[in-house]
Structure 1
Amino acid sequence: MTPDTTATVDPYRLPRHVIPTRYDLRLEPDLTAATFSGRETITLRVEQVTSAITMNAVDLTIASAELDDQTGRRLSAAIELDESLQRCQLRFPESVRPGEWRLHLVFQGKLNDQLRGFYRSTYKDQSGTTHTLAATQFEATDARRAFPCWDEPDFKAVFATTLVIDPALTAVSNTQVAAESIDAGKKVMRFADSIKMSTYLVAFIVGRMEATKPIPVGKTAVRLWTVPGKQPLTPFGHEIAVASLKFFEGYYGIPYPGDKLDLLAIPDFASGAMENLGAITFRETALLVDPASGTHGELERVADVVAHENAHMWFGDLVTMSWWNGLWLNEAFATFMEMLAVDDWKPEWKRWDSFSVSRAAAFSVDGLQSTRPIEFPVRAPKDADAMFDVLTYEKGASVLRMLEQHIGPTVFRDGVREYLRTHAYGNADTNDLWVSLGTAARQPVPELMDGWIFQPGFPLVTADMDGESAVVLSQQRFTYLQNKQATEQSWQVPVRISLGIGEKREHRHVLLKDRQMRVPLPEGVTHLLINEGGHGFYRVRYSPALLRQLLDTGLDRLAPIERFNLVSDAWATTLSGLMPLPEYLHLTGAFREERDKNVWAVLLDSFSFMNRLVSPNERPALEACVRSLVAPAVHRLGWTPEAGENDLVRQLRGELIGALGKLGNDSATQQQAAERYERYRQDPGSVDPNIIPAIVSILAHTGDEARYEAFSERYRTAATPQEERRYLFSLAAFQSPALLQRTLAGTISGGMRTQDAPFVVSAVLGNVYGREQAWSFLKANWDQMDRLFPKQGLRRMCGGIVCLATPELEQDVREFFGTRKIDLGGKTLAQYFEQLRIAVAFRDREGASLKKLFRSQ
């Protein structure tokens, strides 16, 4: 016999000598008791003689385990559960020979309140009655909480699920209902066999749910599911679901791999959405929306998330990464594809332009010494959870976009098709993708891309003139804090250069492989732009002369994404100490006539950052600085849309009004907001929805207890998920310590959903009038929060500590987390600490400049 000793080699990976090929799973949830019972038969392929079988299981009670083969031989197992490793080991009295076996298990579990595994979600109907439904969330490693299984992505198998439920309820799983019957007073729903897929993609939802009429895409019926009463909010999500599914079938050149597609809005859901094959689950705000009252940003979020999850049906579900270090293969590609699909559906939204804001968020983390490569070693489950961040999603999508633009969109698409065809129903690694793309492009893609995927950080490309005949490009790793090792890194950087020669433009495409290269220029160049088109994942630093030439020739010559990069790169180099703050502030004056919402986003973000650093007596001068920049733009746009005005300008109007009323503390804007709000309450259609979030946040910022009570009531009685969220987060924007204490108390008293509560705490940490109060609350209630909040939410909540930007608070933050030995998984906590250090260092370095600026106001 061969003993099962793999656990001594890697405690987080299962042995490979027993392979599951099929799960016949029968579950009976009791929503009232919050429990479930289960039976399963797992068909196994045993590769070598063994005396033990190891699988994953946690928070389950396993009553019996028996093994039989085709000859009728039956073996009963001794069951050993290891909660710390989330494993179950079955030991048999006789040897188990190679061949096909069936493992029969009987088990029980609890429907938990942690929004992971098989869990409970509650909601109230229009009469105020509370109802319960049960839903699943298995990614990354929580299928093991619902049934014993081989819970690793490369153990793909076929799943046949049967759910035994109350006859008054319904159930949805990955596939169509194959049969339905009543047995002993229970409804028995048997679902068709799934494709071969990973455990984390299995799903079942049980409760009172209603479905839209199906819309066919080829042979696939597409439906949206909601709790009763919310079907009127489904048409917009249904439209993008159908449109994106059609787009992906055409782009991938492969039919949708499932037998139906259901999209389900779950009242309690920790993530934004989850790509379970054929049964995609969503947070309600990410699927349900009223186009008449939703802002452009809210509609855009629904479109993005729906397209993202549909893209996963191929990239992630049909072809899956071999292990969690390759998560970017799923998530970066789905992010990239969501942009393509939404841009195809709504080209007027200019999604690739607004994606620049998301790319900037990835830049901000990837400029840290504590960043990680896109593909990073993963051992423990908590490290897999920490991979769901901007480096996996936004940086990964950004480097894919850069590659697509470098080799050409058609060639790129052909490589993607080849990759999916080659690895369908299986698993793949990064190199498999490079092979397919390299074959299509006839270029050495690994040599180009490995540096972007397997090493941390990104380059800062510096441009300087060599006389008048050439520009010299040099590269070094960009970091906010000094890092001697960074100078040793380099990338193969696809650089696009736009040359201005009078009224003409010429273009140069070069690959910067070395530390430095000289690019010859034609005669008569008056200015040049590095990163033409804006899709390169690098920052640019111009020499003062080149920057002056670029500004003197007019920013209106640049595309919006290029203007965004110009100011975003300038702000980043200011944070890092490479550009003095007065130079950056002078640069912002060149954007007073700007009408692109993304450019304004980085401008406003930089002033919000400074607002966190200044002392209370300095804040009025900063407010005056904001008013001088923003007020003219608000005056030009007004408060009411013009006929034919596009959605992006409407969104910009709302963001500028919000900044002027809060960050600028402009009394006239605050008064106007109050008047418009009263008009809105009387007639919602009389005020553009895109300015309502700004109005609500301004009124909260200036609000008293009466307004707090009114907003609390509107949170509880909101008509849409977006309205609910709007009023919930307004409760974190008040200035009164007593009101903010009520908000904080509600996060742990049951006054708000645990999916939202940690984000509300983070929002109060970001409120300059409540951050110290929120920090004290977090410290005092950490243990309770750790028990109550989903781990993903807890991790995001801790991101609010980056706003505690004083030396004293920074020291206290480090002492608290160090003393408690808190681990958020991966490098998450180290990144938060470093971001806080950058803010405090900036405050120390630029304090004199800030004071000088304020004296001039």
Structure 2
Amino acid sequence: MAHPTEDKNFRLSTSIRPRRYAATLTLDLDAKSFSGQQTLELDLSAPSKEIILHAIALELGEVTFRAGNTQHKPASIQPVAASETVVLRFDEALPTGAATLDIAWTGRFTEGLRGLYQAGKVAATQFEAADARRLFPCFDEPAFKARWALTVRVPQGLTVLGNGPVVKDTQEGNLRAVTFQETEVLSSYLIALVVGPLVGTDAQDVQGVPVRTWALPEKAHLTRFGQDVALAVLPKLQDYFGLPYAFTKVDQVGIPDFEAGAMENAGLITYREVALLLDPATAPLSVKKRVAEVVTHELAHQWFGNWVTMVWWDDLWLNEAFATWMAFKIVDQWRPEWRMWLDFDAHRASALHLDALKSTHPIHGEVRNAGEAGESFDAITYEKGGAVLRMIEGFLGEAPFREGIRQYMRKHARANAVKEDLWNALGEAAKQPVEELATAWVGQSGFPLVSVKLDGRSLSLSQRRFYSEPGVTSGEKWPVPVVLRYQDASGVREQRVLLRDAQATVKLEGEGEVKWLTANAASTGFYRVAYDKPGLEKLATNLKALAPSERISLLADQWALVRAGEVSVADMLDLAGRFGDEEDDSVLDELVGRLAYIEGRLVDGEDQVRFRAWVEKLLGPGLKKLGWQAAPNEADRVKLRRAALVRAVGGLARGKEALAEAKPRVARMLQGERDALEPNLLDAAVGMVARAGDAALFDAFLQKLPSEPDPATQRRYLLALTAFEDPALTERARGLLYTDTVKTQDVSQLRGGAAGQPHRPRGVVGADAHAVEGRGGPHRRRPHAAAPHRRGHGPAAHAPAPGADAGPAQGQPIPEAQQATAQTLERLSQDVALRERCTPEVSAWLKRQP
């Protein structure tokens, strides 16, 4: 009979639990190897003849089990690749009760960005979801919390950071031995270590907690903003949870090469540099907002995830959805002028797009092993989960929701919890049937399309599951908390309806004619809305009466209905034509994103020229009115509006005047003139100039790329290299995939840019995937917040050939990315069908325009 560990879905027995790890690691950074010794304190609730630990590529040496005055040596030590474990077998049963396990081992740094790995000059760890086993033999499941007492021996002259503050620092020959304060009980995925020539800000105290932000010396001047964010939001988080911060310190570290966007290790938060470091004088507001959101997201995890931890990865959303929602809530309190909830809507849009596929998954679904856990780091877990929490908060009320969270944190402190524990706490605090609402949204994939028809003051509502593929239907229903906002003779009103059934009729409160009605007020609901033609016309005629979030949803929902074959693209373009005098930057971002898709994928040849001219006619006057030069003390919203218009007129429409304005400004910027371009124009201007650029400009960007300290600027140059339309330069950019010029973390970004070129040969991206697979392997953790997010589709791009991005060899999916591969192929197939269906319709519509 096969041993249970031969099953890749093997789970640890709860009869043996760790209580404390006391480990010493010795790192050889030149050889990229390590050795370790640890005493692991255990509790056995039943006799056992074997102990099973997780371990990958670790060579175990001396192992001794001690209980009381007896000791036992294992009769065999058997690694099992399928379950990433090592089985220690003993000749006789080990006794129940407290015991210790002494283990010595050796290993090598991981090639890639997991476990302990080399990131340029820095050695760093990344353990979530299940890669602590690459450095320690351990119980590598989140339910097995323990205290960790670590000592690390490294060469002299390097900064050494761990989860706790340093309590002892001694010299041992040529090595330095650093001992960290023992941690609170933590799951193994939250342990972290960073070693390298790092420098930090001065420690600043927040209610007794020292906060520091670290980077390589040449980037030390970029740490101030991330430090200030942490100082500002940490007290707000302590106030929200009603609990003090538990992990003695906050260290934030920018890692030069990092798989995730950031990782919430207790007391030692690691970041991709672009998610932490910036120069406030030159950073676009979008970058500042994104850094603030990521820092707050990771700090929120110190309570929700680190202090109270999920039992297993099927409740990963308890961590990520909550931290996503909380980050926007806290940053919005700190900087209300940033209008963070509009950015939240942009993130939610990616989840709506993904969740309309047949290959989507529920927020809470079965996770059988660590590989499947990695697939859970996606927009459903983060953005849909966060949107559902926001919707539940809106249903319960802000104060009862917060009290429920506080009860949950108090009851499960230092322990693990499941989703039902959260629903119980929220329901008890709010005296509402939370479980009914939450279970439907968390346990069921997809979301509803709410159809709306108004007859006098009688409103007909109906719901059905929305799919982005035309003709697909199913019978699911949700309890939909519909928030109506409308204007009648008594003014603007709101009315709430919990739509439980497939259909319902609602009598609107108030009096007189209803001038307009939106069925997702403030866009807080996770659903699409379909209006009948009279209702849509009323909204289009009264756009200024709608909130920006409602105008965004109107455009986004209409576009989704176009993709689903339920609305004509001509009607969508007619609606878009009503937004010519739009002044809100976030609404313009949405508009430009939708138009960019049409320009890049649904028109060709003369129709593409006509479409660009129509866009310039629609939005060009707004740019001419604003001009390119910001006025003294100009409001951020005006700067962002200008940036959106530059993307539309110069990027999407390829306006000659805009390009002529951008070229000399970009040239001056490359020569070091900081005021050549207002920071919010940098991405758009550099992109449009690169697209029309020559080899000399390509070389200028390439030369600046490796030495640029600012990660946002470095990313801008990297993306610029993929924007050149000269085929020879496109090929040069693609060739960088095979060099160290592009960090492992940036390979997928460069591939994506190269794939967007319309003249790219079919199959190239698939070949690239095969060639660069060894530069990091498949991800286990979604690169959340890895780059500043902007609403819309970005540069116009033709759809890659179906299957081109499927995976490394001949389109075969990476095992840990089968779900993502299925989603990509489904979207590509829909893109092809959309092009076939809509291209003639767009062409006919363009011919009708004056």
TM-score where L is the length of structure 2:
0.95
Q: What is the number of equivalent residue pairs in this alignment?
A: 837
Q: Deviations 1:513-561 (Å, cap 9, x if unpaired)? A: 1111111124312222211122111111111111112222x21111111
Matches within 5 A, 1:285-684: 285-465=274-454, 467-482=455-470, 485-486=473-474, 488-502=475-489, 504-521=491-508, 522-524=510-512, 525-552=514-541, 554-610=542-598, 611-680=600-669, 681=671, 683-684=673-674
Q: Distance in 2 between matches of 1:192 and 1:542?
A: 60
**1:254: which partner in 2?**
243
CA distance, structure 2, for counterparts of residue 783 and residue 578 of structure 1:
39
- Residue of structure 1 equivalent to 2:789: none
SS in structure 2 at match of 1:500: strand
What is the one-letter code of the residue matched to 1:338?
A: A
CA distance in 2, matches of 1:409, 1:173: 36
Give the residue type in structure 1 aligned to 2:369. A
Change (3 A) 1:210 1:107: same
Partners of 2:574 and 2:37 in 1: CA distance? 69
Change (3 A) 1:10 1:691: closer
Matching residue of 1:704? 694
Task: Read off the aligned partner of 1:117 and give its amino acid letter.
Answer: G
Matched, 1:750 2:744: no
CA distance in 1, matches of 2:781, 2:70: 50
User: What is the aligned counterpart of 2:29 among 1, 25, 31?
Assistant: 31
**Which residue, out of 88, 92, 101, partners 1:103?**
101
1:118 matched to 2:108: no
Q: Which amino acid aligns with 1:805?
A: A
2:81 equivalent among 59, 75, 83: 83
Q: Kindly provide the amino acid, as one letter, of the partner of residue 65 in structure 2.
A: L
Provide the residue aligned with 2:799 in structure 1.
805
Query: How far 1:686 moved relative to its partner?
Result: 4.6
Structure 1 pair 329–56 and aligned structure 2 pair: CA distance change class (3 A) = same
Equivalence for 2:819: 827
Q: Distance in 2 between matches of 1:397 and 1:285?
A: 23
1:840 matched to 2:841: no
For 1:746, the aligned partner's letter is: L
Return the offset for 1:815. Answer: 11
- Does the 8 Å contact 1:759/1:793 carry over to 2? no
Task: Give the counterpart letter for 1:246 in structure 2.
Answer: P
CA contact (8 A) 2:766 2:804 kept: no
Identity between Structure 1 and Structure 2 (%): 36
Mapped partners of 2:84, 2:155: distance in 1: 31
In structure 2, the residue matched to 1:126 is none
**CA drift at 1:777:** 3.0
Question: Which sections of structure 1, spanning at least 5 residues, go unmatched?
Answer: 123-131
The alpha carbon displacement at 1:225 in A equals 1.1
The residue that corresponds to 1:128 in the other structure is none
Native 8 Å contact 2:6 2:82 kept in 1: no
Q: Deviations over 1:186-212 (max 9, x none)?
A: 211111110101000000111111111
Q: Partners of 2:331 and 2:555 in 1: how far apart?
A: 26
Higher relative contact order (CA 8 A, sep 6+): 2
> Residue deviations 1:709-744, cap 9 Å, x none?
011112123241111111011001110111111111
The 1:818–1:512 alpha-carbon spacing in structure 2 relative to 1, beyond 3 Å, is farther
Indicate yes or no: 2:756 matched with 1:766. yes
Change (3 A) 1:75 1:751: same
Further displaced range: 399-408 or 643-652: 643-652
1:8, CA displacement in angstroms? 6.5
Asked whether the 8 Å contact 2:662–2:685 carries over to 1, the reply is: yes
CA contact (8 A) 1:55 1:87 kept: yes
Q: Deviations over 1:318-369 (max 9, x none)?
A: 0111111111100111011110111111110010122111111111001111
Contact 2:626–2:642 under 8 Å retained in 1: yes
Q: Which residue of 2 aligns with 1:129?
A: none
2:123 to 121, 131, 134: 134
Q: Following the alignment from structure 1 to structure 2, what is the Cα–Cα distance between the partners of residues 814 and 682?
A: 41
Q: Give the C-alpha shift of residue 821 in structure 1.
A: 5.0
Secondary structure at the aligned position of 1:189 is classed as strand
Letter of the structure 1 residue corresponding to residue 581 of structure 2? E
Report what 2:679 is aligned to.
689
Q: What are the superposed Cα offsets for residues 414-464 of structure 1, whole Å, 9 maximum, x if unpaired?
A: 111111111111111111111111111100101011111000111111100
Superposed, 1:53-72 pairs within 5 Å as 53-72=51-70
Classify 1:816/1:74 alpha carbon distance in 2 versus 1 (closer, same or farther; 3 Å).
closer
SS in 2 for 1:53: strand
2:521 is paired with a residue of what secondary structure?
coil
Whether 1:178 and 2:167 are equivalent positions in the alignment is yes
Give the root-mean-square deviation of aligned CA atoms: 2.3
Structure 2 alignment gaps of length 5 or more:
787-792
Q: Is the CA contact 1:785–1:794 (under 8 Å) kept in the aligned structure 2?
A: no
Q: Could you say what secondary structure the match of 1:732 adopts?
A: helix
Shift of the alpha carbon at 1:811?
6.3
Deviation, 1:783, is 3.2
Match of 1:715 in 2: 705
Aligned-partner SS, 1:517:
strand
Q: Which AA in structure 1 matches 2:799?
A: A
| Deviation of 1:812 (Å) | 6.4
Q: 2:257 matched to which residue of 1?
A: 268
Aligned to 2:176: 187
Find out whether 1:278 has 2:267 as its counterpart. Answer: yes
Is contact 2:7-2:83 (8 Å) kept?
no
Specify the SS of the correspondent of 1:88.
Answer: strand
Distance apart, 1:677 and its partner CA = 2.1
User: Is the CA contact 1:623–1:663 (under 8 Å) kept in the aligned structure 2?
Assistant: yes
Instruction: Single out whichever of 405-414 and 604-613 deviates more from structure 2.
Output: 604-613
Counterparts of 2:835 and 2:500 in 1: how far apart (Å)?
Answer: 36
Once residues 38 and 807 of structure 2 are traced to their aligned partners in structure 1, the CA distance between those partners, rounded to angstroms, is 48
* Equivalence map 1:139-288=2 (5 Å): 139-288=128-277
What letter corresponds to residue 557 of structure 1 in structure 2?
A
Distance change >3 Å, CA 617–CA 551, structure 1 → 2: closer
Letter in 2 for 1:86: E
SS in 1 for 2:221: helix
State the SS of the aligned residue for 1:229: helix
Q: Aligned to 1:567, what secondary structure does the other structure show?
A: helix
Question: Which amino acid counterpart does residue 561 of structure 2 have in structure 1?
Answer: T
Which letter does structure 1 place at the counterpart of 2:754? V
Aligned to 2:161, what secondary structure does the other structure show?
strand
What do residues 260-313 of structure 1 show as CA deviations (whole Å, max 9, x unaligned)?
110011111111110000000011111111000111011111111101100000
CA distance in 2, matches of 1:430, 1:117: 29
Preserved contact between residue 795 and residue 824 of structure 1 (Cα < 8 Å): no
* Whole-angstrom distance in 1 between the partners of 2:500 and 2:482: 10
Partner Cα distance (2:730, 2:34) in 1? 40
In the other structure, the counterpart of 1:850 is 842
2:790 aligned partner:
none
CA distance in 1 between counterparts of 2:806 and 2:700 reads 38
The offset of 1:485, in angstroms, is: 4.9
Asked whether the equivalents of residues 6 and 83 of structure 2 are also in contact (C-alpha less than 8 Å), the reply is: no
SS at match of 1:497: strand
Counterpart code for 1:114: G
1:32-79 Cα deviation digits (max 9, x unpaired): 111111111111111111111111100211122211112243334421
1:376-414 CA-partner distances (Å, limit 9, x unpaired): 111132211111111111111111111111111111111
Native 8 Å contact 2:167 2:181 kept in 1? yes
Quick one: distance in 2 between partners of 1:311 and 1:6? Answer: 37
Q: Which moved more, 1:820-829 or 1:393-402?
A: 820-829
- What is the alpha-carbon distance in structure 2 between the residues aligned to residue 374 and residue 432 of structure 1? 16
Query: For residues 511 and 795 of structure 1, do their structure 2 counterparts lie closer, same or farther at Cα, with a shift above 3 Å needed?
Result: closer
